Amino acid sequence: MALIFDLTEDPQQVVQVSAWVGDWHSYVVRLVDELGSPVDITTGTLGITFTNIATGSAYTFASGSVTLTKQYSAQGILSILNPAAYATAAMIRITVSFTVSTTVRRFGPLEIEVLAP
């Protein structure tokens, strides 16, 4: 059974998870508004940002590109597959953007603590 993480438009509502160096799997998230209602993502463009929390700069992967897959668009559910496995221990902040026309909405953060075994 996959966990679904609710990401809100309130940046104070932080979702925290952990992963190991070398992990490479999807995260299933639901984009919700400030009232907790799902945001319909059927039309519009999704984007993602990975930030190294310690440095404030972009967290980069050795290769590849992120895969964002709309699972149940009307319910705001999508999966995020990182470009590659986590190479080093780090604290990473993920934010998702959803753009319709000229309106950009931001969801998250999902903070991932990548641990070295």
DSSP state of 13: -
In this prediction, residue 117 carries a pLDDT of 85
DSSP state of 58: B
Find out whether 84 and 65 touch, Cβ atoms under 8 Å.
Answer: no
Residue 2 has pLDDT above 80, yes or no: no
In angstroms, the first-to-last Cα distance of the chain is 25
Report pTM.
0.91
Residue 96 token pair: 């998702």
Which one, of 54, 81, 76, lies nearest residue 65 by Cα? 81
Task: Read off the pLDDT of residues 72-104 as tens digits, 9 standing for 90 and up.
Answer: 999 999 999 999 999 999 999 999 999 999 999
